[in-house]
Amino acid sequence: IQHLLVPRTLFLTNIRRASQALAYDNFGDPVAVLKKVSIQNERVIKNGHVMVKYLASPINPADINTIQGVYPVKPSSFPAIAGNEGVAEVIRIGSGVKNVQIGDKIIPAAKASGTWTTHAILSEKDVTVIDKNVDNLFAAQLTVNPSTAYRMLKDFHKFEPGTIVIFK
């Protein structure tokens, strides 16, 4: 799995002006439809929302299939920011946010949340706070890969009780 890692300089220079993202206006070959875009950041974060800066966002087959339009999970509208999973740090919070603090490390809980971006504004209910000590590359893959591996093991092979599976 390859990782889309955005240089730290983008985070520092664009936090007050614009975020950079990979977006698409319609389904198709990712090479043909993905475009780098700038998105103006909102000056005021809405009630119950948080602003995050992404630390890592993997590229996996589900992302490619989503962009192609053949994956069951699809963006709610176009243009859409690509990416289904990632890990981010909370950098601002809106009023009414109760369970998330500035500096928290989060993973998005909503499907097709658009993680191939430097920054995003997400609803507090659509984030899961994780331990700050979890490695960024590991955390970025928590929402899709473990459940996919579990389903593959559960659905395609009958294991006897006590069987140990080792991944390399």
pLDDT, averaged per 10 consecutive residues of the chain (168 residues), comes to 43 60 97 95 88 95 94 92 96 95 96 93 96 94 80 84 81
Tell me what pLDDT residue 7 has: 45
Q: Which of 24, 54, 71, 150 is catalytic?
A: 71
| Entry pTM | 0.79
pLDDT attached to residue 11:
43
Concerning whether 150 is annotated as a catalytic residue, the answer is: no
Residue in the block written with tokens 């093991």: 153
Among 124, 93, 117, 107, residue whose Cα is nearest residue 38: 117
Whose tokens are 């176009």? That residue is 78
Distance CA 129, CA 127 (A): 6
Instruction: State the pLDDT at residue 3.
Output: 43
CA–CA gap between residue 50 and residue 89 (Å, rounded) = 10
